[in-house]
Amino acid sequence: MFPELTGYLFPNDVHIAWSLMIVMYPYVTGLVAGAFIVSSLYHVFGREELKPLGRFALAASFCFLLVAMLPLLNHLGHPERGINIIVTPNFNSAMAGFGFLFTSYFIIVLLELWFVFRADIVRYATTSRGAARRFYAILSLGVYDGSAEAVALDKRITRVLAAIGIPMACLLHGYVGFLFGALKANPWWSTPLMPVIFLFSAVVSGIAMLILLYQLAMKLKGTTTDREAVASLARWLWLFMIMSLTLEVLEIMTLGYERAEEWEVISHLLTHQLSISFISIQMVLGGLIPFILLMLVVVMGRFMHDRIHNTLASVSSLLLLLQVLAMRWNVVIGGQMFSKSMRGFRETYVPGLFEKEGVLAAVAIFTLPFVLLLIFERVLPTFDHLRRGPPDDDGLD
Amino acid sequence: MNDATGTRDGLDDATRREFLKRLAVAGAAASFGAIGLILPESAGALATSDYDWTRHRWVYLIDTRKCIGCGACVRACRVENDVPDGMYRTWVERYHIPAGGEAAVDSPDGGAGGFLPVAGAAEPGKAFFVPKICNHCEQTPCTQVCPVGASYSTRDGVVLVDAERCIGCGYCVQACPYGSRYLDPRTHTAEKCTWCYHRLVKGRSTACVGICPTAARMIGDRENPDDPINEILATQRILVLQPELLTKPQCFYLGLDMEVR
């Protein structure tokens, strides 16, 4: 009845309770947090070289955020009761923190978006006609003050919101790692390193996604990419991937060196069930190779032609996006490939194509943020030199 | 022999016929009663008005040395609690540990159909059965993680799930170190052993305890000093599963082997 079981599994452990959707959830949330950090590098820390995509990063974070809850809802046996996590939470449950973290982070991002784009909204509301005018009028919330002082105030508020948003984004994603790390029943999950690993890999995936999206957006708009922006992102990416990978390796090394009871199970897991997704993809293809490529970009970048420079950064980004996805898979699915009897394994898990929580549903959910981003870009263009209307002199970004 | 005694005592035929008739009726009633023991109680009808959950504290005891692996408990549980195929609220594990060798463990269909002989069973070593059930832990990780409080502990020490509140996230399934929980594919909610709470509150035993032919399973009330379970717990050497996790299981074992977790 069940595929490839070896050894003895507790009879209820042959089922995979957390499917592909629970792999998707931390992946998308990670992109939210990562993109937000990039936008904050400009808005809070004033990294001027990231100015071209400060607003774009925020918009991207918002679009991923809109979708972040969908995998969870699709996973729940009773999505109609999902709201109870917020309405009647059990405060002892780590999962109950979700409602508060998600809601407060959502509000912060929404507010920051409004202040960042307010001057644009006001301009569109006053220069466009018909339905568009009414639409932007609603977005402006009736505030039409486009004076220099008002815009300067917007900028100050933006900086404060972005600053509050950083710990919020870290909490939102650290919390996802905590969900796994704080389960003593599962030795593959239960480590205090888990939230930290999740956080760093989130930033990695966010930066990598922005390197790709930014270049793609520029290509679609028919303009050239800002080399300095890509170079800066690549440097940050290298730094965060080094930290992320180091933590991932350290965790395994500690487990292996301690040779505690769980190592018997985990060493088997790593060399059998997860040999491809962990060793080949998470460590080598998505870890070691982009590490070397990014080192070239960062150290030798100034000797490179733009095209080579950006291509190397893009390839690394693509591989790192794969690496983070593999890491989520290895945690979520890997943790269910062995039984809590500690003497039985499931050999493979292949999600179905058409099932409710299958591959197609995952692809559909993952496509959505990009569609949303396209729409967002049409409603509120994020790139400075591509903004509609008269060239702005508000100095707001 | 009836005949002989009947004539010897001078009973007439009519009296004898009447006696046999009554015997038959009583026999039929008794066998119906026995069936009644394993017929499902209506799960809808819960606590009777005179049940006070502050005056009970339920604990469970499994004597692995008495279990013969017949699987009647698994079957009884299935009938009593309408457990879906492939899911288990209780199951029986068989351990076969050849001298100096690796333990072989199995539990085909949770042991519901009993166990067929294994190859090498005649080799020197040890073999035994271990019935498993939800441990109804005092410090239970499963209710701790439930985001909506659908999973909870009753005052009398039973861990239950409110199927009308459960959102089916599966977090409790992941949090249970003993594999006691499952997501019911029909209701999409978490389900588990309830110690037949619907029977306990009516003063009846659980289905698995009631059916066990060797009394390997016992359920008892810590608040009742006359309950024989208290003397066993007080005087025998008992163990719980995975004590290092500090979940404080309320299901105790006699004769547990170190290979069992």
CATH code (residue A131): 1.20.1630.10
Is A278 domain-assigned?
Answer: yes
> Which DSSP letter does residue A344 get?
E
User: Cβ contact (<8 Å) for A89 and B174?
Assistant: no
SS (H, E, C) chain B: CHHHHHHHCCCCHHHHHHHHHHHHHHHHHHHHHHHHHHCCCCCCCCCCCCCCHHHCCEEEEEECCCCCCCCHHHHHHHHHHCCCCCCCCEEEEEEEEECCCCCEEECHHHHCCCCCCCCCCCCCEEEEEEEEECCCCCCCHHHHHCCCCCEEECCCCCEEECCCCCCCCCHHHHHCCCCCCEECCCCCCEECCCCCHHHHCCCCCCHHHHHCCCCCEEEEECCCCCCHHHHHHHHCCCECCCHHHCCCCCEEEECCCCCCC
Beta bridge partners of residue B124, listed in sequence order: none
Burial annotation A26-49 (CB, 10 A radius, 16+ → b, else e) = bbbbbbbbbbbbbbbbbbbeebeb
State yes or no: pLDDT of B20 exceeds 80. Answer: no
Query: If one looks up domain B142-191 in CATH, what number appears?
Result: 3.30.70.20
Q: Closest approach of chain B CAs to the CA of A7, in angstroms?
A: 8
Tell me, yes or no, if A45 comes closer than 8 A to chain B by beta carbon.
no
C-alpha distance from residue A224 to each of A3, A42, A86 (Å): 51, 20, 46
Using CB atoms, which residue from A15, A72, A185 is nearest to B182? A15
Is A396 domain-assigned?
Answer: no
User: Cβ contact (<8 Å) for B91 and A11?
Assistant: yes
Is A24 domain-assigned?
Answer: yes
> Which DSSP letter does residue A358 get?
S
Residue/partner pairs of A254-258 with CB below 8 Å, 24 or more apart: none
- d(CA A66, CA A61) in angstroms, rounded, equals 9
Q: How many CB atoms lie within 10 A of CB A352?
A: 13
Tell me, yes or no, if A247 comes closer than 8 A to chain B by beta carbon.
no
Using CB atoms, which residue from A88, A94, A339 is nearest to B145? A94
Q: Which of A224, A213, A223 is nearest to A376 (CA)?
A: A213
Q: How many residues comprise chain B?
A: 261
Beta bridge partners of residue B161, listed in sequence order: B151
The tens digit of pLDDT for each residue in B127-149 reads 999 999 999 999 999 999 999 99
Runs of H (alpha helix) within chain A: 20-43, 54-68, 70-75, 84-87, 97-127, 130-139, 148-181, 193-221, 227-258, 263-271, 289-300, 306-332, 359-379
Tell me, yes or no, if A184 comes closer than 8 A to chain B by beta carbon.
yes
Domain ranges (residues) in chain B: 2-38, 142-191
Strands B151-153 and B217-221 turn out to be unpaired
* Chain A with chain B: Cβ pairs closer than 8 A: 125
- d(CA B241, CA B179) in angstroms, rounded, equals 12
Mutation target among A8, A12, A188, A341 for the B interface, most CBs of B within 10 A: A12
- d(CA A248, CA A283) in angstroms, rounded, equals 9
Q: What's the whole-number mean pLDDT along residues B183-205?
A: 97
- d(CA B95, CA B260) in angstroms, rounded, equals 8
Tell me, yes or no, if A185 comes closer than 8 A to chain B by beta carbon.
yes
Contacts of A69 in chain B (CB under 8 A): none
Q: Provide the domain count of chain A.
A: 1
Q: How many CB atoms lie within 10 A of CB A17?
A: 20
Listing DSSP states for A2-25 in one string gives: -S-EEEE--GGGGS-SS-HHHHHH
Quickly state the pLDDT bin for B38 (edges 50, 70, 90).
Answer: very low
Angle at A39 between CA A37 and CA A44, to 5 degrees: 85
Q: How many residues comprise chain A?
A: 397
Q: Closest approach of chain B CAs to the CA of A165, in angstroms?
A: 25
Collapsing DSSP to helix, strand or coil, A343 comes out as strand
Chain B interface, Cβ < 8 Å to A: 86-88, 91, 93, 103-107, 109-110, 132, 141, 143-149, 165-171, 173-183, 187-189, 245, 261
Using CB atoms, which residue from A76, A90, A341 is nearest to B149? A90
Predicted pLDDT at B22: 61
Strands B90-98 and B104-106 turn out to be antiparallel
Using CB atoms, which residue from B86, B165, B174 is nearest to A186? B174
User: What string of pLDDT tens digits covers the 397 residues of chain A?
Assistant: 456 899 999 999 999 999 999 999 999 999 999 999 999 999 999 899 999 899 999 999 999 999 999 999 999 999 999 999 999 999 999 988 888 899 999 999 999 999 999 999 999 999 988 999 999 999 999 889 888 999 999 999 999 999 999 999 999 999 999 999 999 999 999 999 999 999 999 999 999 999 999 999 999 988 889 999 999 999 999 999 999 999 999 999 999 999 988 899 999 999 999 999 999 999 999 999 999 999 999 999 999 999 999 999 999 999 999 999 999 999 999 999 999 999 999 998 999 999 999 999 999 999 999 999 999 999 999 986 555 544 444 444 4
Domain that holds residue A327: 17-386
The tens digit of pLDDT for each residue in B80-120 reads 999 999 999 999 999 999 998 899 999 999 999 999 987 77
Contacts of A91 in chain B (CB under 8 A): none
Using CB atoms, which residue from A11, A84, A342 is nearest to B167? A84
Q: What percent of chain B has pLDDT over 70?
A: 80
